[in-house]
Amino acid sequence: MMHLRFITSNKHKFEEARDILKRYGIRVERISIPVVEIQSNSIEEVAYNSLRYLVERRLVPSMSFLEDAGLFIKALKGFPGVYSAYVYRTIGCEGILKLMEGIEDRYAEFKSAIAFYDGKSIHVFTGVCRGCIGLEVKGSFGFGFDPIFIPEGFNKTYAELGNNVKNKISHRARALISMVKALRANIF
Ligand code: IMP
């Protein structure tokens, strides 16, 4: 059985990854080490540079990965994007709904970037989930912006759908699956 390590302090992210990877017969262990997040214009760069920082200092074993994610709202020119964690901590879901008041185009994308260390180099995998911002906070599952994000093809938020559905369609699931495909194809 393949065994990977997920560097994250977010228990929700870890549980999602564990459930998703289990479907592919992959076991994942959580490593909690403080990660220095390099500010940058893309989540791919944030993930890559955060992992590179740890690899250069020999702080992570091989077969480890970390993830950076963000919510990109079209009408707000991609905001909060790379600032999602800060924006969630400060204005939160209610603050985003306030910014979106009166805006008809509610299109948004959740993006995930995974940086994976194979013992020699770092590889980046991405996943996107298209959707829109709801009109109110709805649902009690999940974390972060889950209660305001409605994935395409559904009329419920991630937080109403719960992890069973979310883990089949989410940005994180897509990035993880793309990593799994590369691991299986043995491209490293
Ligand atoms: P991070 O920088 O990757 O930890 O995530 C940025 C922020 O985006 C987090 O603080 C969450 O608020 C939000 N976020 C990331 N992934 C998700 C998700 O799957 N659902 C809801 N919010 C998320």
Percentage, residues of the chain above pLDDT 90: 91
User: What residue ranges define each of the domains in the chain, with the CATH number in brackets?
Assistant: 2-185 (3.90.950.10)
Residue pLDDT, tens place only, 102-132: 999 999 999 999 999 999 999 999 999 999 9
Section 53-59 average pLDDT? 95
pLDDT of residue 187: 67
**Ligand 1 pocket list (CB less than 6 A):** 10, 68-71, 84-85, 88, 142-146, 158, 170, 172
The tally of CA atoms less than 13 A away on the side-chain side of residue 96 is 33
Distance of CA 10 from the midpoint of ligand 1 (Å): 9
Residue with the nearest Cα to atom 10 of ligand 1? 85
For residue 171, what pLDDT band results from cuts at 50, 70 and 90? very high
DSSP of 70-97: EEEEGGGTT-BGGGHHHHHHHTHHHHHH
Residue pLDDT, tens place only, 81-109: 999 999 999 999 999 999 999 999 999 99
pLDDT of residue 188: 66
DSSP secondary structure code for residue 106 in this structure: -
127 sits in which H/E element: strand 122-133
